Amino acid sequence: MSTAYTVGLLVAVAGLIIGFMAIVRERDDLHRILLTDLAEVLALVLIALVATDLAEALILPGLVVGISELMAVSEVYIAKEGLQKPHIEPAFHIEVMDSAPGILALILVAYGIVLSGFTGGAVAAVGAVFYFMCRDHAEQFELIETVSGYAWVIWIAAFFIFMFLPQYWLFAVMMAGGAILLKVMAKMSLVGTMRGGSNV
């Protein structure tokens, strides 16, 4: 066990050195973002090397911190460079793109709610992303922000129930499970939709 850990540690730190050397040499801002994201994966490797349930639980916060910082920093990059989404006609337009999104998104979101938890959020998010891809999504975006805020509040409430009223643990688990559904869904719905531009 100990040897395996040492070897893993050496490999991970060697990988980190290579990754950070690349960042030292890189001059382009966009590539720096990408390399930074790569380096963060290696931090998760260091946590995963511990190989306990605790490590598995710690990977989730680590991952989320990386993703959310990436989101904020890339938005700063877009603002900094003044990038605009070009106004081009969609490549093709067919009838099914008008009718399908609503139905499919509904099915996926409903299924996600049944699953609940992390995977449920991902499934529901696929529905939302599909909807946004086919439709204009200016006003829905505000909705996602509101949902994300509520998810945060529910989560905090669940935490306080766990800490101060532990006998209601089942209620708190359900609240947290629902909140993670909303949170993951809100997060994943943003993939590829948050671009610069006038009214996007």
Partner 1 sequence: MKPNRSVITRISETISRLENLTTLYAFFFVVIAVLGLVTLPFITYHDDQLYPKTIDPNSSLNPYDRGGVPFGTTPVKAQYPENSPYVGYVTTYLTPLSHWLADHTLHIGTTIVAHPGGIIDEILYNTRGLDTVVETSILFVAFAIASYLFRRDN
Partner 2 sequence: MFNLPTGNIGGQELFVLEFGDIVNYFSPYTAALFVFALIFTVLAIVSRPERQVDIAFGGDAYGAKEVSIDLMRFQRFMAIACGLATLGAMVSGDVFNFTLFASLVGITNIGIVAAYRNRHVLNAAFQYGIVAMLATVPLFGGAAIILASTGTLSMWELFADGVAVPIIAKAFLVLGVMGEGMAPFYVAKAEITRAQGAPFILMVHVSSLLLFLRVIEIVISM
Touching partner 2, residues 76-95 (CB under 8 A): 76-77, 79-80
Binding status of residue 169 toward partner 2 by CB under 8 A: no
124 and 106 Cβ atoms separated by less than 8 Å = no
Mark the segment that binds partner 1 (CB under 8 A) among 6-14, 88-96, 100-108, 125-133.
6-14
Contacts of 162 (CB under 8 A, 6+ apart): 169, 172
Q: Please report where in the chains the tokens 């001059």 appear, as a residue.
A: 27
C-alpha pair distances (Å), 135 with each of 15, 96, 98, 106: 42, 12, 8, 14
For residue 69, the minimal CB distance to partner 1 (Å) is: 6
Residue 118 found at the interface with partner 1 (CB under 8 A):
yes
Q: Which does 136 bind (CB under 5 to 8 A by kind): partner 1, partner 2, none?
A: none
- Per partner kind, with CB cut-offs from 5 to 8 A, the member of partner 1, partner 2, none near residue 42 is partner 2
- For position 172 contacting partner 2 by CB under 8 A, the verdict is no
d(CA 40, CA 22) in angstroms, rounded, equals 13
**Is residue 181 within 8 Å of residue 113, measured between CB atoms?**
yes
50 belongs to the binding site for partner 2 (CB under 8 A):
yes
DSSP percent split of the chain into helix, strand, coil, nearest 5? 80, 0, 20
CB of 49 to partner 2, least distance (A): 6
CA–CA dist 6, 1 (Å, integer): 9
Question: What span, in angstroms and rounded, lies between the C-alpha atoms of 178 and 120?
Answer: 9
- The token pair at 61 is 């916060």
Under rule CB under 8 A, which residues in 106-165 are in contact with partner 2?
162-163
Judged by CB under 8 A, which of 22, 46, 157, 173 binds partner 2?
46
Stretch that binds partner 2, among 44-52, 88-96, 148-156, 182-190 (CB under 8 A): 44-52
119 is an interface residue for partner 1 by CB under 8 A: yes
Task: Tell the smallest beta-carbon distance from residue 135 to partner 1 (Å).
Answer: 18
Distance CA 2, CA 177 (A): 36
The residue ranges that bind partner 2 (CB under 8 A) are 5, 9, 16, 20, 23, 29, 32-33, 36-37, 39-40, 42-44, 46-47, 49-50, 54-55, 58, 61-62, 65-66, 68-70, 72-73, 76-77, 79-80, 162-163
